[in-house]
């Protein structure tokens, strides 16, 4: 049975049982506690927690998932993957254990026609009800029902909250795959009994004391891995031998001579699937969050590609096969295929350059070591800085007779995790502890009014107010928070900030001490009208800009980030080239033409499916619930959006692009202003020139005036650039002449010492550290490392033996700030000068370790 037939049979079965069939949610979850969608139940977590009510009593999905906890095992086993699909059926107070058990058994035995003799059941050891259903209702022999403990068969959303027992269905792969123990049974760690379907019965609420109370509405959450059930239905032992992988693996083998390297081929096949699906859902490579997860997956695949001599680059070509295999079920794969290829190609080319540097570092490390051991710290640098998978480093050095200190590496990893945890804790605001289920969601009335009466639900920490309803828009979807004030009696409290927690509770953070506010008080909430209007102008303009970008640059120009404030808008989108001036003008022209048409801005409340049927644009990478709000501007724009907008496009008044830049590979940023701010900007930019053009040339036609201004401005810019360039050259030469006289001051102790055979120059200075380093390097004949800094800038310059970029990363991780560079030169800012001063011994240790 092919994978498409498995999917269709599964969904059709549950559709016939009254379930609403939903398309897979994005790999970008709405749950802020996780980076990626890692289970079929995750999109429905608010229903299981009782925070929201589902539109449908029961649903069924095939959910895309990514998990990273077993990435090091991928390629080495038959069943570990980073990307996988989870088949599931869910009930929100509709049906419970008996029906869930019947459905699962019916699907496996009557839809997929599995041999009943091969199926075994596990239940929670205290769940007598499930045991009895399997035995008496389903007729399963007692010798095929196993009672297991809480570790195996009990699910919980956390230490407290909804929880319940599980029942698992196992498939017997045969004794030849087992451990041969007489006690071998479901739950054994060997490969004989394969868990294929997990049924979770969410029936209790656990409190802080561990007491479990039955829930009023009992829920069902089930999950069956598509890859696993496919391996059984296709009669193969490995997931990699199913039709979910074979076409991709065949494609891989056609471009390499090393067809027998099973591990490398499996790793690449798995990882290119994960990367393709992630990018198609709006995740782009970066150095943090889910973007870093994607980058790590890509780099691991590229590294293994080198091992089997794949052409460079190769991943973007393989992604075409992934799209070909999956786009009928996941249309987003096809819709985003062009941008996916561009990201993969760009990221791979960038990593190949980094990898070559890393191989050079690895070669130096192994060449200079007599003990034939690669330390944990050295392993971590290769892993963290150059993206080398640890198992690959191990394999490479093993061929040279080296061993690796894996325990030391784990210690370094723990240090990094602890640092991240500490940083995360330090950044938590004083209202984070209020992110609990004790408050009902705040009613937002700010679409229709800027002033409302409300009741205080709670007042915490002398400056956090929770209301039953509010007109204040909290920062969300790129739009900044409203400003304004709360009035109670004769007191007025300015709103400093707003925060909306994952459960819909809005926290109003006020300036000053509001200790006289108490729960139950009546209060008046007033939004700053001027700021709201300016913000709304910029927000509506982003919708018009998005449409114009697609018209001028192409359909690939999808939004991937934005900032909407009273002062400006910032819009990030997919595009790989600098936008030409004529295209900038065309984009402005389209937006301003729409503004001048004075078109009404309408709002529609629909389900997500209804919105998609209408053709509304769901922003790339955003996560939506079942109910959505559509912002419609005639036939110009129709997007899903929860932000605030103007009543008609004429209220925007005027739109002007103020700049463009590159945010990351394949992502451009446009900044623009609207309304009176745009008018002031243009007047400041060209007002005096317009006046001069009219007086001196008697020119009144607007286009000719603008042409004159543009020509004059361009000439001014060229002249200013040449003047600035000459001034900078003179400054550097003057500084060099001055610094030469000071050179000896920096080449003596304690500012200069020799570590191994490398001269370390280490000093704070009131001079320009970059120019000073150039002067000092001309005087040095030996190997050197310079660490020089003033109040604003820190630089590291080396003769090549020490990697400056790695060292600057080490310093800023302890002294604060950030920076980067190349192997011989790196630069940082935002650091603590006093902290740098205390790092002398660590820098010496760093040099000695190389």
Q: What is the CATH number of the domain that holds 654?
A: 3.30.980.10
What's residue 719's pLDDT? Answer: 80
Q: Are residues 293 and 180 in the same domain?
A: no
What is the residue range of 636's domain? 555-674
Answer for the pair 775, 740: CB distance below 8 angstroms, yes or no: yes
Low-confidence ranges of the chain (pLDDT < 70): 32-33, 157-158, 387, 389, 391-392, 417-437, 618-626, 665, 683-714, 717
Q: Are residues 54 and 140 in the same domain?
A: yes
CA distances from 557 to 382, 543, 551, 554, 584 (A): 36, 13, 9, 6, 14
Q: Are residues 93 and 52 in the same domain?
A: yes
Tell me if 576 is assigned to some domain: yes
| 241, 274, 291 - which closes a domain | 241
Tell me if 809 is assigned to some domain: yes
Residue found by looking up tokens 């490392």 in the block: 785
Q: Are residues 232 and 291 in the same domain?
A: no
Tell me if 31 is assigned to some domain: yes
Q: Are residues 218 and 308 in the same domain?
A: no
Q: Exposed (0-12), middle (13-18) or buried (19+): which is 159, by Cβ within 10 Å? A: exposed
Backbone angles phi, psi at 419, to 5 degrees: -65, -40
Prediction pTM value: 0.64
Tell me if 736 is assigned to some domain: no
What's residue 845's pLDDT? Answer: 84
Answer for the pair 326, 333: CB distance below 8 angstroms, yes or no: yes
Q: Residue 588: which of 632, 631, 628, 551 has the closest Cα?
A: 551
Tell me if 378 is assigned to some domain: yes
Q: Are residues 496 and 417 in the same domain?
A: no
Q: How many domains, the chain?
A: 5
What's residue 371's pLDDT? Answer: 83
Tell me if 101 is assigned to some domain: yes
CA distances from 506 to 437, 469, 562, 625, 645 (A): 13, 9, 22, 18, 20
Q: Are residues 486 and 346 in the same domain?
A: no
Q: Are residues 404 and 475 in the same domain?
A: no
Q: How many Å separate Cα 459 from the centre of its chain?
A: 33
Q: Are residues 651 and 760 in the same domain?
A: no
| 389, 409, 426 - which closes a domain | 426
Tell me if 725 is assigned to some domain: no
Q: What is the CATH number of the domain that holds 133?
A: 3.30.930.10
Tell me if 717 is assigned to some domain: no
Answer for the pair 362, 393: CB distance below 8 angstroms, yes or no: yes
Q: Are residues 377 and 500 in the same domain?
A: no
Q: Are residues 786 and 823 in the same domain?
A: yes
What's residue 615's pLDDT? Answer: 74
What's residue 429's pLDDT? Answer: 43
Q: Are residues 296 and 421 in the same domain?
A: yes
| 617, 652, 674 - which closes a domain | 674
Please state whether beta strands 783-789 and 758-764 pair in parallel, antiparallel, or not at all (unpaired). Answer: parallel
Q: What is the CATH number of the domain that holds 765?
A: 3.10.310.40
């Amino acid at each position: 049975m092919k994978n498409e037939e498995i999917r269709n049979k599964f969904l059709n079965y549950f559709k016939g049982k009254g379930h609403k069939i939903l398309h897979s949610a994005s790999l970008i979850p709405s749950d802020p506690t996780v980076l990626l969608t890692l289970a079929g139940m995750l999109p429905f977590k608010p229903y299981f927690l009782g925070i929201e009510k589902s539109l449908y009593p029961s649903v069924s999905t095939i959910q895309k998932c990514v998990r990273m906890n077993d990435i090091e095992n991928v390629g080495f086993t038959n069943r570990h993957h980073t990307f996988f699909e989870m088949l599931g059926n869910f009930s929100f107070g509709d049906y419970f254990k008996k029906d869930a058990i019947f459905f699962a058994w019916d699907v496996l035995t009557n839809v997929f026609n599995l041999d009943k003799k091969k199926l075994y059941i596990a239940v929670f050891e205290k769940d007598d009800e499930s045991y009895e259903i399997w035995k008496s209702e389903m007729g399963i022999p007692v010798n095929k029902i196993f009672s297991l403990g809480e570790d195996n068969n009990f699910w919980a959303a956390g230490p407290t909250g909804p929880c319940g027992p599980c029942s698992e269905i196992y498939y017997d792969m045969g004794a030849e795959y087992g451990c041969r123990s007489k006690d071998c049974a479901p739950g054994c760690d060997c490969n004989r009994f394969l868990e294929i379907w997990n049924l979770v019965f969410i029936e209790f609420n656990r409190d802080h004391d561990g007491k479990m109370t039955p829930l009023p509405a009992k829920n069902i959450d089930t999950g069956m891995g598509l890859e696993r059930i496919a391996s059984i239905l296709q009669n193969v032992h490995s997931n990699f031998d199913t039709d979910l992988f074979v076409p991709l693996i065949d494609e891989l083998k056609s471009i390499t001579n090393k067809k027998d390297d099973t591990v490398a081929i499996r790793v690449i096949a798995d990882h290119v699937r994960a990367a393709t699906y992630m990018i198609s859902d709006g995740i782009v490579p970066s150095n943090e969050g889910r973007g870093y997860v994607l980058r790590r997956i890509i780099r691991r695949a590229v590294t293994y590609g080198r091992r089997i001599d794949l052409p460079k680059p190769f991943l973007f070509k393989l992604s075409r096969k992934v799209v070909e295999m999956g786009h009928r079920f996941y249309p987003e794969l096809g819709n985003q295929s062009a941008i996916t290829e561009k990201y993969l190609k760009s990221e791979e080319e960038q990593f190949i350059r980094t990898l070559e540097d890393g191989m050079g570092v690895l070669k130096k490390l192994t060449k200079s070591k007599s003990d034939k051991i690669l330390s944990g710290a050295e392993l971590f640098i290769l892993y963290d800085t150059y993206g080398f998978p640890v198992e690959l480093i191990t394999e490479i050095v093993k061929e040279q007779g080296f061993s690796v200190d894996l325990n030391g590496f784990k210690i370094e990893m723990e240090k990094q995790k602890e640092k991240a945890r500490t940083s995360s804790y330090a950044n938590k605001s004083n209202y984070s502890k209020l992110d609990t289920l004790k408050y009902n969601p705040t009613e937002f009335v700010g679409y229709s009014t800027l002033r409302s009466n409300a009741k205080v639900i709670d007042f915490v920490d002398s400056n956090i107010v929770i209301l039953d309803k509010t007109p204040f828009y909290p920062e969300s979807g790129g739009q900044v928070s409203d400003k304004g004030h709360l009035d109670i009696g004769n007191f007025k409290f300015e709103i400093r900030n707003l925060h909306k927690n994952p459960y819909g509770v809005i926290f109003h953070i006020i300036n000053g001490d509001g200790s006289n506010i108490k729960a139950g008080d009546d209060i008046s909430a007033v939004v700053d009208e001027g700021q709201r209007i300016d913000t709304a102008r910029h927000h509506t303009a982003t919708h018009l800009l998005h449409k114009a970008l697609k018209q001028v640059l192409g359909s690939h120009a999808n939004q991937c980030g934005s900032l909407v404030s009273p002062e400006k808008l910032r819009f990030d989108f997919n595009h790989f080239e600098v936008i030409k001036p004529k295209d900038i003008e065309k984009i402005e022209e389209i937006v301003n033409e729409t503004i001048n048409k004075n078109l009404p801005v309408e709002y529609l409340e629909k389900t997500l499916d209804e919105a998609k049927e209408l053709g509304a644009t769901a922003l790339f990478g955003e996560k939506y619930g079942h109910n959505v709000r559509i912002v419609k501007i005639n036939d110009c724009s129709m997007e899903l959006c929860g932000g605030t907008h103007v009543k008609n496009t004429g209220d925007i008044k005027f739109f002007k692009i103020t700049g463009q830049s590159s945010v990351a590979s394949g992502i451009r940023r446009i900044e623009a202003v609207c309304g009176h701010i745009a008018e002031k900007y243009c007047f400041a930019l060209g007002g005096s020139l317009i006046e001069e053009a009219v007086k001196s040339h008697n020119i009144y036609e607007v286009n000719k005036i603008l042409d004159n201004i543009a020509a004059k401005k361009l000439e001014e810019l060229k002249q200013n650039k040449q003047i600035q360039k000459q001034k900078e050259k003179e400054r550097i030469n003057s500084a060099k002449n001055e610094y030469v006289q000071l050179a000896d001051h920096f080449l003596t102790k304690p500012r200069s010492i020799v570590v191994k055979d490398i001269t370390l120059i280490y000093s704070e200075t009131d001079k320009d550290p970059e120019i000073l380093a150039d002067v000092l390097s001309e005087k040095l004949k030996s190997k050197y490392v310079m660490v020089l800094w003033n109040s604003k800038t820190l630089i590291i310059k080396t003769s090549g033996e020490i990697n400056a970029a790695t060292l600057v990363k080490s310093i800023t991780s302890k002294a604060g700030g950030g920076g980067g560079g190349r192997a011989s030169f790196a630069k940082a800012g935002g650091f603590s000068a006093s902290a740098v001063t205390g790092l002398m011994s660590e820098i010496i240790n760093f040099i000695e370790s190389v």
